[in-house]
Amino acid sequence: MPVPIDPILERLETREDPTVERVDVGPRLKSRVAVLPASFNPPTLAHVELLERAKDVPGIATSAALLTTRNVDKGLFGASHGHRVGMLLGLELPATGVLVSNAARIAEQAAALRDMFPGQDFDFVVGYDTLVRLFDRRYYDGEMHEVLATYFRHHRVIAATRGEFDVPAIERYVESTADARNYGDRIVPLNLESELMHVSSTAVRERIGEGVSVDVPPRVHQYIREHKLYEPAP
């Protein structure tokens, strides 16, 4: 039986404390889970590549897409959260769950996951920009060092390459940043050589607005057409 999405989204919207809920009906996720937090606006082939390739990281058994309903740098535009969940559920990737959280920051998402799934192990798949934000004091309300210590006690960061930010670039950043260097053994570079790593949701939305639907999985393409998403205003 499908999970009712709207009540979940309404519940997350009204709660102030960081919360996460699972919205797919697949089997229990096996530890260790690679979590990809993103806005999925829309889910692209690059997202699918990240979810699949993260399973190659030593210790990872399954992956999960984590739709974040709040973003530290962006407001809501494009598809509604309900439609984004619909597109994610349509992917039906093997050994991949679909989660939704009202937490904008990775440390808050991680805390919510620990509360919701005690005993389950999670690591986070991030791009270079998110890796840098993780060690940027501007994104913390309180003591950054304490938050980072708690996070890395439980979780790793899987830092995926993208464009010019290859494995050496990730390693240089970690080595040159004191706070990141302290947790260097918990930051795992993930080399993605696929051309899909140049795909961005922004570019995909622009192409869809021009009538060209590219770089999205077939099921997402079908969903977008059926619901007339990302079409220019009349």
Asked if residue 228 belongs to a domain, the reply is no
**Is 1's pLDDT higher than 50?**
no
Total domains, the chain: 1
Q: How confident is the model at residue 164 (pLDDT cuts 50, 70, 90)?
A: confident
26-35, 39-48, 68-77, 191-200: segment of lowest average pLDDT: 68-77
Mean pLDDT of the chain: 90
Cβ burial, residue 170 (10 Å; 0-12/13-18/19+): buried
Residue range 181-208: mean pLDDT, rounded: 87
- Residue 17 counted as domain residue: yes
- Angle 69-74-79 from CA coordinates, rounded to 5°: 55
Q: Where residue 67 sits, what CATH number does that domain have? A: 3.40.50.620
Domain that residue 67 falls in: 5-197
pLDDT confidence of residue 75: 55
- The model's pLDDT over 29-49, given as tens digits with 9 standing for 90+, comes to 888 999 999 999 999 999 999
Is 94 inside a domain boundary?
yes
* pLDDT band per the 50, 70, 90 thresholds, residue 200: confident
Is residue 224 assigned to a domain?
no
Instruction: State the residue for tokens 């979940």.
Output: 8
Residue 208, pLDDT score? 82
pLDDT tens string 89-145: 999 898 999 999 999 899 999 999 999 999 999 999 999 999 999 999 998 887 999
Helix (H, G, I), strand (E, B) or coil at 117: coil
Is residue 103 in some structural domain? yes
